Amino acid sequence: MENKKKKLSLFQLIGISIAFYGSVRSVPTLAVVGWQQIFFMIGAAILFAIPISLICAELATGWTEEGGPEVWVKEALGEKCAFITSWLLWVQMFFGMVMVSSTVGILLAYVIGRPDLSQNNIFVFSFIILSYWTVTLLNLKFDMDKIIGTIGSVVGIYIPFVALVALGLWWTFKHGIVNLGPLTWKSAIPSLGSIDKFSIFSGIIFIFTGLEIASVNANNIENPKKNYPISVFLSMGLLIVFNLIAGLTEANTIPTDKIQLSNITQPFAIYFNELGLPWLTNVISAMICIGVLAQLSVWVLGPSKAMIKVAEEGNLPPVFQKRTKHGVPITFVLIQAIVVSFVAILYVVIPNVNSSFFMILILTNILYCIVYLFIVLSAIVLKYKRPDVVRAFTISGGKLGMWIAVSLSLIGIAITIIVSLIPPANTKSGIYIAVQVIGTAVCVISPIIIFKLRKPSWKKVNQKKF
């Protein structure tokens, strides 16, 4: 008798979902708004994370072939929109990878016992270049995911996150409310008088990006109609609770104007110093650094593997179809490294590491929001255009349920893009807006031009290996 692949249980899916989103990377972004992070996190869940998770699950269980968003958008909106979607998923990673790479130098500054270097823009810039090119070259020769993938995730992501939550609770129970202040309506709800704080909402949305990847698990769960929505609500609830504990305790430990957005080691240093174990800051920094390098290894190949399929369909010149003998898309990988190097120059042009980090974070988020706009529109179109396609999971309420999910998502996406254009305090507004507007325009217009110029001869004939 043939063995069937075992389905995931509800408990397993909740565990996978929490592991997928759990990270210390976004905690400083939460901490900087104090009690208001509760308002922003709940808003992000209701207007973004939950409805888009449900939408992506219905699409993923209806169109199960590899490709995800590109397949859904192509089916609903056509080949041009599908190409733009794939392109944006690729180029937004340039900015995301710069942001993640920037933490390498900061972490190493603590590893070597020189925390002052964590806010030195030249030091941070140097390690963005060094770390990203090192990971790129290693990926061209070895299967880095097998080498450091699982170990890197456990050592560098999950253990530090649990430690941050536990230490934050310990510090708060010991000292009480120090920097956070009392919880009141005024302290919890942002006012229009401090509208610059609304830009933080976009940074908080970034915690939930990648929902379209996690939704593929809906194809492999017991009783998806019942269990998938339960897992979404429970995992999102737990994720919100853990992030809020970490964010609130950090906000209580460090004054708002002293929080370093790109420095995820900052609260650890305070906690371990108080415990009389300052050397553990070096250890935890090294652990998180391993996690960052593991993430970079996955990101170096992930988007490029998706894009090479787009190239082989004839949407890009043949040079983009080249692979190494290991199947690595060499042209895409090298272009990524070159563009990441240029984007990293922002850390030289803008000496304030906090400002550079936040600008790149927000630009990444705007591009991702455009992708989600295509996905959400595709979901409602396919609800009417392809009712014949069987979905293992469907949003409750039929077309009305889909319209509710789509409406909430569109409101969340619109709010995120609008607040992304509001310069935060202590940032040069002209440079900030220019980076967001020009960066977004270039990234969106370039695939439209490329699609217009494509030629039939670009379609793949034979795959060439090097």
- What phi and psi values does residue 221 have, to the nearest 5 degrees? -130, 145
Interatomic CA distance for residues 109 and 120, integer angstroms: 10
Half-sphere exposure of 174 (CA within 13 A, CB side): 11
Place of tokens 């996905």: 375
Structure tokens at 124: 């941070």
Residue 294: give its domain's CATH number.
Answer: 1.20.1740.10
Q: Is residue 466 part of a domain?
A: no
Angle, in degrees to the nearest 10, between helices 121-141 and 353-385: 50
Q: Is residue 159 part of a domain?
A: yes
Provide Rg for the chain, Cα atoms: 22
Q: Is residue 15 part of a domain?
A: yes
CB–CB of 406/59 below 8 Å?
A: no
Which of 440, 434, 412 minimizes the C-alpha distance to 209?
412
Q: Is residue 306 part of a domain?
A: yes
Structure tokens at 441: 């325009």
pTM: 0.81
Which residues lie below 8 Å from residue 464, measured CB to CB, with a gap of 6+? 321, 322, 323
- The rounded average pLDDT for each run of 10 residues, N- to C-terminus, in the chain (466 residues) is 60 68 76 88 89 88 77 91 90 80 84 82 87 85 62 76 92 91 82 66 76 66 76 81 90 89 86 93 88 76 76 83 79 89 82 72 87 94 92 88 95 90 76 88 92 82 49
Tally of domains in the chain: 1
First to last CA, the chain: 42
Cα torsion angle, 16, 20, 22, 24, sign: positive
Nearest 5°: the CA angle 278, 280, 284 is 135
- What phi and psi values does residue 8 have, to the nearest 5 degrees? -75, 140
Q: Is residue 156 part of a domain?
A: yes
Strand partners, 221: 8
Name the amino acid, one letter, at 72.
W
Output the furthest CA–CA distance in the chain (Å, rounded).
Answer: 69
**What single string gives the DSSP state of each residue in 10-55?**
HHHHHHHHHHHH--STTHHHHHTTTTHHHHHHHHHIIIIIHHHHHH
Q: Is residue 261 part of a domain?
A: yes
Half-sphere exposure of 188 (CA within 13 A, CB side): 10
Q: Is residue 406 part of a domain?
A: yes
Alpha helices for 142-223 (secondary structure H): 144-153, 159-175, 185-188, 199-205, 211-214
Q: Is residue 464 part of a domain?
A: no
Interatomic CA distance for residues 234 and 228, integer angstroms: 10
Structure tokens at 152: 């890197």
**pLDDT for 272:** 94
Which residues lie below 8 Å from residue 125, measured CB to CB, with a gap of 6+? 105, 344, 345, 347, 348
Q: How many CB atoms lie within 10 A of CB 403?
A: 14
- What phi and psi values does residue 154 have, to the nearest 5 degrees? -70, -50
Interatomic CA distance for residues 137 and 367, integer angstroms: 27
Structure tokens at 382: 């396919």
Question: At 323, is the secondary structure helix, strand, or coil?
Answer: strand
Residue-range definition of the domain harbouring residue 185? 10-458
